[in-house]
């Protein structure tokens, strides 16, 4: 059985030990697709409570949101403290439970380049100053990163491991419109190519099962994303959570979620098409709580992975 090339093995080869991503959620970060800059309400599948992250820690700074043009940031010290507290708590657990030795700080929630440059710089540098941190992974949208930030990250990348995670989702503009994405596919391609030209590492997020997409369209998205030179990939099925625009579409019968069989089929084909140097960070997604409306198969991650491995077995592959 040949193991699919995972991000974990990429990191292990590179750093010679177990490296874990530490997911961080900083108050004050939002998204131009939520705050009205490009759209309101966010992507139709995004549970953003219209405007806020729903963690206890973010309550402290309720009503505080940054964007690319914010002139001041009165809460930078609090954000830095939050970063440190989250990093310490999560990395401790990863060390104790999984034997993690080194870490990549993953700025995960919302759009993590959507703040004034000085704020980003302070947060990224603080994250890189923690013990055993070898790099950063920064989740963002292609319409929310500036040349200045890209240039700065490219410099950091000379001595650290810097990743940018772009939501690609689909290469079809009609689909991006349907999900209220707020930018088109040309914009994603442009910024991925720019990041790659500066030597940065890029992870692309893909969603299978977007409204009205055929299997051919999903595979074309994967094919183009590989062609743009992404270094790593996350595949997700589109699932419906309550309190989203997609939930309304689903409840009135205007959206049908992807079946597990079709998802498996598209996923396996995408894995087979994938260039061998592209590492895989995620092969599925779901949520096991009462917020999930559909499809039900997205509730049980273990069973999903089991089925993915069953589908890979005849190909002598495993995840």
Residue closer to ligand SF4 (CB basis): 46 or 230:
46
Furthest CA-CA distance within the chain: 57
48 near ligand SF4, rule: CB under 6 A: yes
- List the one residue from 28, 42, 135, 209 that touches ligand SF4 (CB under 6 A): 42
32 touches 70 (CB < 8 A): no
Scanning 27-35, 99-107, 203-211, 274-282 for contacts with ligand SF4 by CB under 6 A, the matching segment is: 27-35
Scanning 41-49, 117-125, 127-135, 200-208 for contacts with ligand SF4 by CB under 6 A, the matching segment is: 41-49
141 near ligand SF4, rule: CB under 6 A: yes
- List the one residue from 25, 33, 157, 304 that touches ligand SF4 (CB under 6 A): 33
CB of 182 to ligand SF4, least distance (A): 7
Residue closer to ligand SF4 (CB basis): 75 or 169:
169
Residue closer to ligand SF4 (CB basis): 285 or 317:
285
31 near ligand SF4, rule: CB under 6 A: yes
What is the footprint of ligand SF4 within residues 151-190 (CB under 6 A)? Answer: 167
234 near ligand SF4, rule: CB under 6 A: no
Scanning 30-38, 69-77, 184-192, 239-247 for contacts with ligand SF4 by CB under 6 A, the matching segment is: 30-38
Q: CA–CA separation, 27 vs 99, rounded Å?
A: 29
Residue closer to ligand SF4 (CB basis): 103 or 209:
209
- Per CB under 6 A, residues contacting ligand SF4 are 31, 33-34, 42-43, 46, 48, 110-111, 141, 167
């Amino acid at each position: 059985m040949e193991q699919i090339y995972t991000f974990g093995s990429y990191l292990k080869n590179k750093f010679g030990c177990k490296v874990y991503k530490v997911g961080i959620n900083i108050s004050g970060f939002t998204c131009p697709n939520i705050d009205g800059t490009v759209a309101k309400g966010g992507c139709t599948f995004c549970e953003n409570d219209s405007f806020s992250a729903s963690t206890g820690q973010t309550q402290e700074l309720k009503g505080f949101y940054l964007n690319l043009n914010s002139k001041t940031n009165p809460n930078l010290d609090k954000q830095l403290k939050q970063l440190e507290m989250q990093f310490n708590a999560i990395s401790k657990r990863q060390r104790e439970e999984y034997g993690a030795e080194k870490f990549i700080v993953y700025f995960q929630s919302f759009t993590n380049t959507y703040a004034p440059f000085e704020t980003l710089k302070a947060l990224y540098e603080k994250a890189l100053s923690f013990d055993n941190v070898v790099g950063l992974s920064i989740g963002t949208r292609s319409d929310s990163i500036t040349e200045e930030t890209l240039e700065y990250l490219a410099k950091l990348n000379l001595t650290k491991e810097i990743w940018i995670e772009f939501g690609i989702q689909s290469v079809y503009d009609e689909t991006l419109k349907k999900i209220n994405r707020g930018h088109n596919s040309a914009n994603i391609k442009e910024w991925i190519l720019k990041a790659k030209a500066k030597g940065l590492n890029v992870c692309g997020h893909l969603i299978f099962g977007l409204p009205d997409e055929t299997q051919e369209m999903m595979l074309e998205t994967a094919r183009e994303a590989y062609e743009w030179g992404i270094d790593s990939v996350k595949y997700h099925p589109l699932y419906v959570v309550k309190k989203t625009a997609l939930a309304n579409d689903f409840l009135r019968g205007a959206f049908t979620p992807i079946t597990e069989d079709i998802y498996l089929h598209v996923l396996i084909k995408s894995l087979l098409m994938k260039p061998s140097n592209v590492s895989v960070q995620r092969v599925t997604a779901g949520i096991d709580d009462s917020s999930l409306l559909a499809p039900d198969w997205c509730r049980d991650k273990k069973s999903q992975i089991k089925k993915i491995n069953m589908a890979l077995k005849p190909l002598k592959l495993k995840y």
